[in-house]
Amino acid sequence: MNKEKSLKKSRSRVGTNIFLMIVAILVLVPLWYLLNNAFKTPQAMMLEPLIIRPQTFTFANIARAFKIMNYPKLLLNNVIILVISCSFLVVLGSFAGYAINISNNKAIKNLYIFIVLIMTLPFQLAMIPLVSMLKSMNLMDSFFGTSLVFTAWSLPFVIFLYTGYMKTIPKELLEASIVDGCGLFKTYVYIYMPLLKTITGTVLILRGVHIWNDLLIPLVTITKSSMSTLSLKLYSFASTRITAWDLVFGGTLLVVIPIMVLFLSLQKVFIQGIVAGAVKG
């Protein structure tokens, strides 16, 4: 009886694994297709889209896309926007979370509820006046302006994450440090900041990836080609050359590479970060 049961169990485990393996392969197919064709001559793409041979292997697509897209400049632009927005997000988000946790003030609690509620509003609702506001503030075509928009639209979610996480830090720590004569600011710096590493990692992963990849905000706030981000450039680059498959594949792969490298080296951190965010959410 027992034997039969364990046999059944192991059989179902094999079935599960086979099913999951098929799902994993299906998910990988589009990525493999991109990788496989980015390194092929255009003729080979037409004749043999499914396989890659040493005779048709080439770096030419990548090299040409690299040059036409002005890739190093774009990468730098992306990094600048990412660094400014993420610094703002971490500092202001954790400040706000701290504020919500140290005070019993009703107005602050209500503000928190308000901030959580507006998370559901779509960016399109603010887009058009925002562009004219940015123009009048001289923040159009400025990395700083774009970063501020990213920050403002990510802050509700980030405040939500920080507030939730700080709730799990025992209030006694706060009381003790105040009794010991630490001010509220010092308590933040010496007690809370070191405890926030995990959630800061989650915030950086969740929002960082989003900011790095977003198309709509750069599309409406950046018009200068020299200030373009990777996503924005890929869009304008590839949509005008959709018949030039070699360049589109090459350009797309170039945009994927940084995040692929980062993910492969930090895989565990990524998944843990998402799980932490999911549990807090």
Partner 1 sequence: MIKKTSKNTNIAMSRIGKIKKKKSILEKQRDRTAFVFLLPALILILVFFITPIILSLRFSFTNWDGISKEYNFIGLNNFKYVVNDACFGRILLNTLYLMIIYVPVLNILAIVIAALIVNVKNKIGNFYKSVLFFPNLLSMTVVGFIWKLMYDYNNGLINTVFRKLKLDFLVQDWIGAKNLVIPSVAASIIWFALGYFLIIYIAGMMSIPIQLYEAADVEGATRAQKFFNVTLPLLAPSITINVVLSTMGIIATFDLPFVLTGGGPGYLSETLALKVYHYAFTNFQQGPALALAVILGIIAILIAFLELKILLKREDIY
Which of 1, 2, 4, 50 is the binder for partner 1 (CB under 8 A)?
50
Residues 6+ apart with CB under 8 A from 127: 216, 220
CA distance 255 to 278: 27
Min separation Cβ 72 and partner 1, Å: 18
Q: How many CB atoms lie within 10 A of CB 176?
A: 13
Q: Which of 37, 61, 177, 200 is in the footprint of partner 1 by CB under 8 A?
A: 37
- Binds partner 1 by CB under 8 A, chosen from 95, 189, 240, 261: 95
Q: CA 242, 247, 252: angle at the middle one, nearest 5?
A: 85
- Structural contact between residues 61 and 38, judged by C-beta atoms closer than 8 angstroms: yes
**Beta carbon of residue 11, minimum distance to partner 1 (angstroms, whole number):** 12
Closest approach, Cβ 103 to partner 1, in A, equals 4
- The residue among 57 and 109 lying less far from partner 1, judged by its C-beta, is 109
Q: Which two tokens stand for residue 21?
A: 């393996």
Instruction: Give the separation between CA 119 and CA 251, rounded to whole angstroms.
Output: 33
Contact 85, 178 (CB under 8 A): no
Radius of gyration of the chain (CA): 24
Query: 3-state DSSP helix/strand/coil percent for the chain, to nearest 5?
Result: 85, 0, 15
Tell me how many residues contact partner 1 (CB under 8 A).
93
Q: Rounded distance, CA 25 to CA 6, Å? A: 28
Contact string (CB under 8 A) for partner 1, positions 245-274, x = contact: x--xx--x--xx--x---x---xx-xx--x
Q: Which of residues 216-245 bind partner 1 (CB under 8 A)?
A: 216, 220, 230-232, 234-235, 238-239, 242, 245
Residue list 142-201, contact with partner 1 (CB under 8 A): 148-149, 151-153, 155-156, 159, 184-185, 188
Which range in 60-68, 108-116, 164-172, 195-203 contacts partner 1 by CB under 8 A? Answer: 108-116
Interacting span for partner 1 (CB under 8 A) from 20-28, 60-68, 164-172, 196-204: 20-28
For partner 1, the binding residue among 43, 105, 198, 226 (CB under 8 A) is: 105
Q: Which of 7, 10, 11, 49 binds partner 1 (CB under 8 A)?
A: 49
Question: Could you give the string, one character per residue 113-142, with x where binding to partner 1 holds by CB under 8 A and - elsewhere?
Answer: --x--x-xxxxxxxxxxxxxx---------
Question: What residues numbered 57-86 form the site for partner 1, per CB under 8 A?
Answer: none
Piece of the chain touching partner 1 by CB under 8 A; list 55-63, 67-75, 193-201, 209-217: 209-217
Instruction: Kindly report each contact of residues 110-119 with a partner whose C-beta sits within 8 Å and lies 24 or more positions away, as own/partner.
Output: 112/159, 112/163, 115/155, 115/156, 115/159, 115/160, 116/156, 116/160, 118/156, 119/156, 119/157, 119/160
